[in-house]
Chain A
Amino acid sequence: MATEEGKIDPMYQFEVQTILEGFSLGGQQIAFTNSAVWMLVAVAGLWVFMLGGMKRELVPGRWQMMVEGFTGFIDNMMEANIGPAGRKYAPYVFSLFMFILFSNVFGLLPVGVLGLHPFTVTSHLTVTGVLAVMSFSIVLIVGFAKHKLHFFSLFIPDGTPLPMIPFIFIVELLSFLVRPFSLALRLFVAMTAGHILLKVLAGFVINSTNAGAGYGVLVGIPSFALMIGISALELLVAVVQAYVFALLTSLYINDAENLH
């Protein structure tokens, strides 16, 4: 974690490091990176988790119950936000939710004690951006396929006075176009900020202890106590951000599916 002797860089954890050179595609090097490793780890973990829910017993065991809790949660969310038509989007939103959730939580794992470097995939704008663009594309495709040009009436709320329509239309259109950015930035910023905070506090603990036992007690111990609290908060944020991403996606799909 230290780039130079005695200096701790809290941003180092976000660096993408090439493990294998891979191949080149359209001028871009497609390398196998630590980011790819953690994506694969998240998917593998998710796959193992889901496998426990595939027993399909009439009376579920604990693991099956847990998996069914997640599937039922997303299913209910789609049903509540979109209606019966929403169930066909449930597999996508479920994949999104679980992928983000596992990436977030695996990025918080204290594998540092084993000498490994945890990497939070969702703290990268590229990753969250792709996910957000995917959700936004689904909204656009569904909206225009289902309502054709009538989809633009989404930008004029019911009961808008006639002279206000052009302004309202522009405002609503802008807020609609900002959606993918807000979706991507929200997750990226939430994950990044929490990880930086944890690393900065960890740096306090290390540097103050190195400076002497008195500093260690005065600065190190309160910082460490704060880290414990923030770690708990980060776990919460990891779950909440996955939920928010899935919830907003379902709300946006609802706009496309039902217009108003």
Chain B
Amino acid sequence: MPQIDQIALTYGSQIFWLLLTFGFTFIVIGLGMFPKIQGTVDARDKRIADDLEAARSANAKADELEESYRVKMEKDRGDAQAVVEASKTKASEAAEKRKTKANSDIATKLAAAEADIKARSAEALKEIEGVSAEVAQDMVAKISGAKVTKAAALKETKAALKHG
């Protein structure tokens, strides 16, 4: 095995060249390039994370806005509902009041008219009584020749009218 057979002869040059090449690798590539490349990766990761964070916060903000908009709309709708409700009650109250007033007006008018009708019909009845008493007086005078006082005729007619 040459690795072992030659070891006494070659270890010096092997170690020398290894230290030289690996030293170069460590200093130039390990210490020089590796942190820069890893820094780029870290910067990119950070950038992506920041962008994601910004997007997330923007999203949350939009949600918040939408929520507040929704709440406001809900409130406005509630307000409008209340206004409508209030005006409706007010209108119906007014209508009720007018109706009661109209009803009472009608009732008074009706009462007046009824009273009028009663008075008139009483008057008419009196007139009929008077006329029929006179007629009765005349008829009695013509048929029997008896003289009937007006008061008696009236009394009789009243009784007759009452019996229909």
Measured CB to CB, the residues of A under 8 A from B are 11-12, 14-16, 22, 25-26, 28-33, 35-36, 39-40, 42-43, 46-47, 50-51, 53-54, 56-58, 60, 67-68, 71-72, 75, 90-92, 94-95, 98-99, 121, 123-127, 130-131, 134, 188, 192
Contacts and interface: CB of A to CB of B under 8 A. Distances in A.
A75 B38 CA distance: 8
Contacts of B15: 126, 130
Nearest to A16: B10
A14 B1 contact: yes
Contacts of A121: 18
Contacts of A126: 3, 7, 10-11, 14-15, 18
Given A11-B2, A98-B25, 5 more contacts: A16-B9, A26-B12, A43-B21, A94-B29, A126-B18
Nearest to A55: B40
Interface size class of B (residues with CB under 8 A): 35 or more
Given A29-B13, A36-B17, A125 B34 contact: no
B30 A94 contact: yes
Contacts of B38: 71-72, 75, 90
Interface in B1-47: 1-4, 6-7, 9-22, 24-26, 28-31, 33-38, 40-41, 43-44, 47
Interface of B: 1-4, 6-7, 9-22, 24-26, 28-31, 33-38, 40-41, 43-44, 47
B29 A47 contact: yes
B34 A90 contact: yes
B25 A71 contact: no
Given A15-B2, A123-B3, A46 B44 contact: no
Nearest to B45: A72
Nearest to B19: A130
Nearest to B24: A43
Contacts of B41: 68, 71-72, 75
Given A15-B2, A47-B29, A31 B37 contact: no
B4 to A, nearest CB: 7
A125 B7 CA distance: 8
A47 B28 contact: yes
B21 A39 contact: yes
